[in-house]
């Protein structure tokens, strides 16, 4: 990547922290973003803090999609940024009103020591609570100064009144005593708190106490007006961080935490309901619930709350124990409630259901959705032929951009439905995963024409399928003829495994079975890449990586 002259100069400027007092006061506001980016790239937390504390614009966005080869900001730099935001609340040079940290989180333990989503959430919540405590301390100090100023004014008035009493005689002295008694009576009635705030504040309080004056509504408006910076981020919540997140979301102070994507893990239905109640309703785009034992009834209970978020377009449920059994009393009714709840999410575009075991119920779940889905992920869902037949004819088929059917068994009975589904989605489908679906050479041969017809397809995952070297060669020959395809994830051929593998091995057996050490593993890759290069497709990447396969399922 070729750096611009501005970027090169910015890196040189932030490299020497001892010179920052010289250039900070003269740097124009147009260069702040370039300097901040250089400070993140060069891992200069002190420069990050000084720039953010004096941020000259109303909005600061840090995070979002990263370019290829670009790493997430360093942990120390993020901590310096959050500390500078709190300090900037009392710095008149700081104009910051919106801090957007969406997508800032990196992989814990990754290159460059980035801050993961869980650590970032805890740090954000701590920042919000500390900002509230700092504002309260500042308010108490201001109140103390006001009290002292008011006392000084009162003493000055008393001195003047005493002087006037000696000058004007006993009559004036009596009137002065009467005035002094009236003043003392008022002080007793109003109390110390009203006196501290001054005359104007005292009048406002008295007006709010009058019946019908709308004091409660005015107080709520005052609390909202106290917000100086709106902090927007992706929030990660588990049992360990739950209390801290709840405290931050219910804190009224100079920082207000808002959520774009919410991810919760291993917390109960009641805790999720409480969390949804206290989340700001505007701006939440996605909810991701993982490893929480919801059950069909629990999810049906949550969906009415989830549907109240007007911008929500993504719902992901991973390993939430939605095991549907007809022999259990009330399951049919709970499934209908589940369908009605999904139908209330008006702008839903992405639905992910992982390992929920709802065979034969796909029509009930998806037919009531008002808008066609663009992303549908159904791995480990035990889909039946009836489910796949419905999906191929549903109103979602022609709009799908991403489809994941991993670990659902495909055979001769389901192949016509898959081919019809691919035909319906041929102009829109960009990402397809059929990993671990039991595709043999014979099934793949029947499926290749339909795959080749998906002209918009960018990535195709077929890991952990029992394919021979001949089947893989046919797959690559088809892939090089697809102009939009950029990534093909293929399985190890059966010839690479040690003897004893069953004739039709499952994906679990392929994952655990040892590879033959005597086999030249690189030979498979070289043969496939030779076909790719001979066709002139240097832009197509061929990958045989089971770790990538596992990561796709988790993320």
Q: What is the DSSP string of 213-272?
A: S-HHHHHHHHHHHT--EEEEEEEEE-TTTHHHHHHHHH--SSEEEEEEEEEEES--HHHH
Task: Name the more confident of 475 and 69.
Answer: 475
* Largest Cα span, the chain: 120
Helix, coil or strand: residue 75 = helix
Q: How many domains does the chain have?
A: 2
Q: SS3 string of 368-408?
A: CCCCCCCEEECCCCCCCHHHHHHHHHCCCHHHCCEEECCCC
> Across-strand partners of 351?
315, 376
The answer to whether residues 249 and 375 belong to one domain is no
| Confidence (pLDDT) at 356 | 81
Counting DSSP H helices and E strands in the chain, the numbers are: 19, 13
Confidence of residue 547 (pLDDT cuts 50, 70, 90): very low
Question: Looking at the predicted structure, is the pLDDT value of residue 24 above 70?
Answer: yes
Q: What is the pLDDT of residues 205-214, one digit of tens each?
A: 455 445 444 4
The answer to whether residues 245 and 347 belong to one domain is no
Mean predicted confidence (pLDDT) in 50-77: 85
Residue ending a domain, choose from 265, 284, 317? 265
The answer to whether residues 274 and 259 belong to one domain is no
Q: The tokens of 248 are what?
A: 């931050």
The answer to whether residues 231 and 255 belong to one domain is yes
Task: Report d(CA 330, CA 480) in Å as an integer.
Answer: 52
Question: Looking at the predicted structure, is the pLDDT value of residue 426 above 60?
Answer: yes
The answer to whether residues 128 and 24 belong to one domain is yes
Question: Looking at the predicted structure, is the pLDDT value of residue 193 above 60?
Answer: no
Task: Report d(CA 360, CA 147) in Å as an integer.
Answer: 72
Question: Looking at the predicted structure, is the pLDDT value of residue 217 above 70?
Answer: no
The answer to whether residues 303 and 428 belong to one domain is yes
Confidence of residue 168 (pLDDT cuts 50, 70, 90): low
| Integer Rg of the chain from CA | 33
Instruction: Confirm whether 209 is domain-assigned.
Output: no
Instruction: Confirm whether 235 is domain-assigned.
Output: yes
Q: The tokens of 417 are what?
A: 């439905």
Do 406 and 434 contact (CB within 8 A), yes or no? yes
Instruction: Confirm whether 157 is domain-assigned.
Output: no
| Confidence (pLDDT) at 93 | 85
Domain region containing 487: 268-543
Average pLDDT taken over every residue of the chain: 83
Burial 55-82 (b: 16+ CB within 10 A, else e): bbeeebebbeeeeeeeebbbbebbbbbb
| Confidence (pLDDT) at 91 | 85
Mean predicted confidence (pLDDT) in 151-157: 78
Question: Looking at the predicted structure, is the pLDDT value of residue 298 above 90?
Answer: no
User: Residues, the chain, total?
Assistant: 555
Do 521 and 497 contact (CB within 8 A), yes or no? no
CA proximity to 120, closest of 131, 134, 104: 104
Is the full-model pTM beyond 0.75?
yes
Instruction: Confirm whether 477 is domain-assigned.
Output: yes
Residue 296, by phi and psi: left (phi above 0), alpha (psi -120 to 50) or beta? alpha
Q: In the chain, what percentage of residues exceed pLDDT 70?
A: 83
Confidence of residue 333 (pLDDT cuts 50, 70, 90): confident
Do 496 and 467 contact (CB within 8 A), yes or no? no
| Confidence (pLDDT) at 270 | 92
Instruction: Confirm whether 22 is domain-assigned.
Output: yes
Residue ending a domain, choose from 240, 265, 290? 265
Question: Looking at the predicted structure, is the pLDDT value of residue 262 above 90?
Answer: yes
Instruction: Confirm whether 462 is domain-assigned.
Output: yes
Q: What is the pLDDT of residues 37-51, one digit of tens each?
A: 999 988 999 999 999
| Confidence (pLDDT) at 222 | 42
| Confidence (pLDDT) at 114 | 82
Instruction: Confirm whether 441 is domain-assigned.
Output: yes
Task: Report d(CA 429, CA 482) in Å as an integer.
Answer: 13
Instruction: Confirm whether 472 is domain-assigned.
Output: yes
Question: Looking at the predicted structure, is the pLDDT value of residue 184 above 60?
Answer: no
The answer to whether residues 325 and 313 belong to one domain is yes
Burial 376-408 (b: 16+ CB within 10 A, else e): bbbbbbbbbbebbbbbbebebbebbbbbbbbbb
Q: Which phi and psi (to 5°) does residue 524 adopt? A: -60, -50
The answer to whether residues 379 and 430 belong to one domain is yes
Question: Looking at the predicted structure, is the pLDDT value of residue 141 above 80?
Answer: no
Do 77 and 43 contact (CB within 8 A), yes or no? yes
Q: What is the pLDDT of residues 454-507, one digit of tens each?
A: 999 999 999 999 999 999 999 999 999 999 999 999 999 998 888 889 988 999
Among the residue ranges 57-61, 449-453, 496-500, the one predicted with the least confidence is 496-500
Residue ending a domain, choose from 212, 240, 265? 265
Task: Name the more confident of 116 and 190.
Answer: 116
The answer to whether residues 232 and 348 belong to one domain is no
The answer to whether residues 323 and 237 belong to one domain is no
Q: The tokens of 13 are what?
A: 């400027």
| Confidence (pLDDT) at 188 | 46
Among the residue ranges 103-107, 173-177, 226-230, 264-268, the one predicted with the least confidence is 173-177
Among the residue ranges 331-345, 370-384, 520-534, the one predicted with the least confidence is 520-534
Task: Report d(CA 356, CA 360) in Å as an integer.
Answer: 12
The answer to whether residues 237 and 352 belong to one domain is no
Do 80 and 49 contact (CB within 8 A), yes or no? yes
Task: Report d(CA 103, CA 259) in Å as an integer.
Answer: 11
Task: Report d(CA 279, CA 305) in Å as an integer.
Answer: 11
Give the Cβ contact number of residue 440 at 10 Å: 17
CA dihedral 429, 433, 438, 442 (to 10 degrees): 40
Question: Looking at the predicted structure, is the pLDDT value of residue 192 above 50?
Answer: no
Q: The tokens of 391 are what?
A: 């999906």
Task: Report d(CA 219, CA 224) in Å as an integer.
Answer: 9
| Residues whose CB falls within 8 Å of the CB of residue 498, separated by 6 or more in sequence, listed in order | 513, 514, 515, 516
The answer to whether residues 466 and 525 belong to one domain is yes
Task: Name the more confident of 308 and 150.
Answer: 308
List the alpha helices (DSSP H) in 399-497: 415-424, 441-452, 469-479
Give the Cβ contact number of residue 306 at 10 Å: 20
| Residues whose CB falls within 8 Å of the CB of residue 496, separated by 6 or more in sequence, listed in order | 515, 516, 519, 521, 524
Most confident of 11-15, 22-26, 228-232, 293-297: 228-232
CATH number of the domain to which 355 belongs: 3.80.10.10
Question: Looking at the predicted structure, is the pLDDT value of residue 200 above 60?
Answer: no
Task: Name the more confident of 72 and 341.
Answer: 341
| Confidence (pLDDT) at 372 | 95
């Amino acid at each position: 990547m070729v750096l611009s002259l501005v970027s090169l100069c910015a890196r040189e400027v932030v490299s020497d922290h001892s010179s920052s007092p010289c250039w900070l006061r003269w740097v124009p506001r147009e260069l702040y973003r370039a300097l901040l980016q250089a400070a993140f790239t060069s891992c200069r937390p002190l420069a990050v803090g000084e720039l953010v504390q004096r941020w000259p614009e109303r909005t600061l966005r840090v995070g979002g999609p990263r370019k290829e080869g670009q790493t997430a900001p360093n942990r120390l730099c993020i901590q310096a940024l959050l500390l500078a935001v709190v300090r900037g609340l009392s710095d008149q040079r700081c104009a910051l009103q919106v801090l957007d940290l969406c997508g800032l989180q990196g992989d814990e333990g990754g290159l460059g020591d980035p801050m993961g989503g869980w650590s970032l959430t805890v740090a954000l919540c701590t920042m919000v609570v500390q900002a509230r405590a700092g504002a309260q301390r500042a308010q108490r100090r201001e109140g103390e100064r006001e009290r002292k100023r008011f006392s000084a004014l009162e003493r000055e008035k008393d001195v003047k009144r005493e002087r006037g009493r000696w000058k004007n005689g006993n009559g004036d002295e009596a009137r002065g005593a009467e005035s002094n008694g009236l003043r003392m009576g008022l002080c007793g009635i109003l109390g110390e708190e009203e006196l501290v705030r001054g005359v104007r504040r005292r009048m406002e309080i008295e007006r709010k106490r009058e019946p019908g004056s709308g004091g409660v509504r005015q107080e709520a408006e005052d609390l909202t007006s106290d917000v100086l910076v709106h902090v927007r981020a992706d929030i990660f919540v588990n049992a360990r961080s739950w209390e801290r997140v709840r405290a931050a979301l219910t804190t009224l102070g100079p920082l207000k935490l808002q959520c774009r994507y919410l991810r919760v893990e291993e917390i109960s239905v009641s805790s999720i309901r409480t969390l949804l109640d206290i989340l700001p309703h505007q701006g939440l785009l996605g909810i991701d619930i993982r490893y929480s034992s919801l059950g069909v009834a629990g999810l049906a209970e949550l969906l009415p709350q989830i549907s109240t978020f007007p911008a929500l377009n993504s719902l992901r449920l991973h390993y939430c124990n939605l095991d549907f059994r007809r022999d259990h009393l009330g399951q049919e009714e709970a499934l209908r409630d589940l369908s009605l709840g999904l139908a209330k999410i008006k702008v839903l575009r992405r639905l992910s259901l992982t390992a929920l075991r709802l065979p034969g119920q796909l029509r009930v779940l998806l037919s009531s959705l008002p808008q066609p889905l663009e992303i549908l992920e159904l791995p480990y869902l035990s889909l039946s032929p009836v489910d796949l037949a419905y999906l191929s004819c549903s109103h979602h088929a022609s709009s799908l951009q991403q489809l994941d059917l991993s670990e659902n068994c495909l055979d001769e009975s389901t192949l016509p439905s898959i081919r019809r589904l691919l035909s319906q989605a041929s102009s829109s489908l960009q990402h397809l995963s059929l990993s671990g679906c039991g595709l043999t050479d014979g099934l793949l041969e029947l499926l290749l024409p339909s795959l080749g017809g998906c002209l918009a397809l960018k990535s195709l995952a077929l890991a952990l399928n029992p394919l021979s070297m001949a089947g893989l060669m046919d797959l690559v020959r088809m892939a090089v003829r697809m102009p939009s395809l950029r990534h093909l994830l293929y399985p190890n051929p059966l010839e690479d495994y040690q003897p004893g593998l069953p004739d039709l091995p499952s994906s679990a057996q392929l994952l655990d079975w040892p590879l033959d050490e005597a086999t030249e593993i690189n030979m498979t890759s070289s043969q496939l890449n030779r076909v790719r290069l001979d066709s002139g497709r240097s832009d197509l990447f061929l990958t045989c990586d089971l770790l990538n396969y596992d990561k796709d399922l988790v993320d």
